[in-house]
Amino acid sequence: MTDTPLPLISRPTVGRHLAGSLAVKILAIVVLSALLVSRDADWVMHPTLWAEDGVIWFQNAYTKGLRVLVMPSAGYINLFPYAMALVARALPLGWLPGWMMAGGFIAQVAPAVLLLLRGAPLVPSLWARGALVLFYLGVPNSYEIHLNLTNAQWHLMLLSFLMLVLPAPQGRGWRGLQYGVLLVSGLTGPFCVFLAPVALWQWLGAAPDQRRHAFIQAAIVASTALIQVLCLLTLGAGERQSLVLGASATRLARMLTDQVFLSGVLGTANVGVLKQGALWQEPAMAWVIALAGLSIIAFALVKGPSSFRKFCLAGLILLACALVSPAGSPVGDQWALLGMLGYGGRYFVIPILIFFIACLILACKAPAKFRIPACALLCVFMVGVWADWLYPTRSGTFEAYHQAVEAFDNAPPGTQISFPEASPGWNMVLTKR
C-alpha cells in the first residue's frame, strides 16, 4: 500500500486566506471603534481637555520636560499620559485635546479588540465573548472613563489582565509588544499591584510550553508593582490626603446595589427613577439585592474557569483599595459620596464587568434550572446598555479652548493664559515661553 501524498496548498490560496483574515480583523476593529465613538460622537468631533489631561499631564510636561516621567501624581508614576503629553509639546496647541483623547481611545478599544480577535479563556464560548465585547463597549455607569487619557489606566488594567491570562502570542515581535504594553501599563497608576497576584497565579499554573512566557510577564508585573509601591511610600507619601470614610455595612450594601448591580443591569438613568420610590429607600431592599448579586458571582466562581477567579481576585483587591483610600472629594464622607449615582463611576466599572461575566458563565455552564434565569438577566443587561449608551454632551468648552489657543499664539513671551476644560472647575494654565 502506497502513501497518498498530502495535497499542497498553493501560495495564491494562502495569500487569499491571509488577506481575507486581515480584512476581517480590520473590519472588526472599524466596527468596534465606530460603536465606541457613537456613545459620544460630539466629543470626538469637538474634543477638549478632561481633568488631569491638561492641568496635570500637559501642564507639567510643558514646564518640566522629561522629569515628569518619574514624577508621582496621586502617589504613583503615570508613564503613559505623561509620554503622550511630552509628544504633544511638538504638536500645535490646538491639536492637544484631540491627541489626548486619541490616547484614551486607543487604551479603551484595545481590550475589546484583543478579546474579540484572539479569544480568551475568561468566557466559555464565541457568542459569550461577543456579548462581553458589546457589553464592555456599552457598559453602564462608565461616563467618567470614556475616551479620556486621565482614566485610560482603567482600560490598560483590563488589557493587561487579558494579556496575562491569554496564551502566548505567536512570534517574537508580538510577544515583545505584549511585554512592552505590560511594562507601560504597570508604570501607569497602581493597577499592577492588583494584577501581581494574578500574574503569580498564572505563572505557577502555566503549562510547560507557556511557563517561560508566564514567568517573564510575572516578572514585569511584579517589578512595576514594586516600583509603584516604593514610589507611594517615598516620593508620593504626602500626596494623598486623610479623608473621612464614613464606612458602614449599610452604606456598602447601598453602594453595591446602586452603583454595581442595579446600574449594571438597568443603567443609571433608570436607577435614578427607580430610587425615587419609597420601597428603594429601605435598607432591607439594598441588602437583598446586594446579597443576590454577590450570590450570583459566588456561584459563577464555582462553575467558571480559573481565569474568572483571577479576574475576581484583581477586582476585589482594586475595589477594597478604592473603598479604603478613594481619590474623591477632599470634603465629606467618602462612602456617602460613592453611594451617589454616577459619582466615582470608575471604581465600579470592573465590578460591573465581573457581574456580567458571572451571568454569562451561569448561562453557559450552570444546571438547566439556573440557565433560564441567567439568560433572562443577560437580556435585562441590554436595558442598561441602551439606557446609558449615549453620554451627555461635554464639549461645550471647544470654542473657548480654541479662543485661548489663539490668544496664546499671539501673546508675547511671559504671558499667562488659562485654557478651559470640559471638567467643571478645571483650567489648564500655561505661561508662554
Whole-structure pTM value = 0.91
Handedness of CA 195, 82, 113, 373 (dihedral sign): positive
Grid cell locating 109 = 478599544
- Residues contacting 420, CB < 8 A, separation 6+: 48, 397, 400, 401, 404, 427
Length of the chain: 433
Distances, alpha carbon 64 to alpha carbons 68, 103, 127, 412, 426, in Å: 6, 21, 49, 20, 20
Full pLDDT tens readout for the chain, 433 residues:
444 444 444 445 544 444 457 787 888 889 999 999 999 999 999 999 999 999 999 999 999 999 999 888 888 999 999 999 999 999 999 999 999 999 999 999 999 999 887 765 667 677 888 899 999 999 999 999 999 999 999 999 999 999 999 888 888 998 999 999 999 999 999 999 999 999 999 999 999 989 999 999 999 999 999 999 999 888 765 555 667 788 889 999 999 999 999 999 999 989 988 888 777 778 899 999 999 999 999 999 998 889 999 999 999 999 998 888 777 666 668 888 888 888 888 999 999 999 999 999 999 888 888 889 999 999 999 999 999 999 888 767 899 999 999 999 999 999 999 999 998 889 999 999 8
- Distance of alpha carbon 343 from its chain centroid, rounded? 16
Spatial contact of 188 and 82, defined as CB atoms under 8 Å apart? no
Question: Residue 248: CB partners within 8 Å, gap ≥ 6?
Answer: 335
CA–CA distances in Å: residue 353 to residues 61, 63, 123, 138, 349: 34, 39, 12, 11, 6
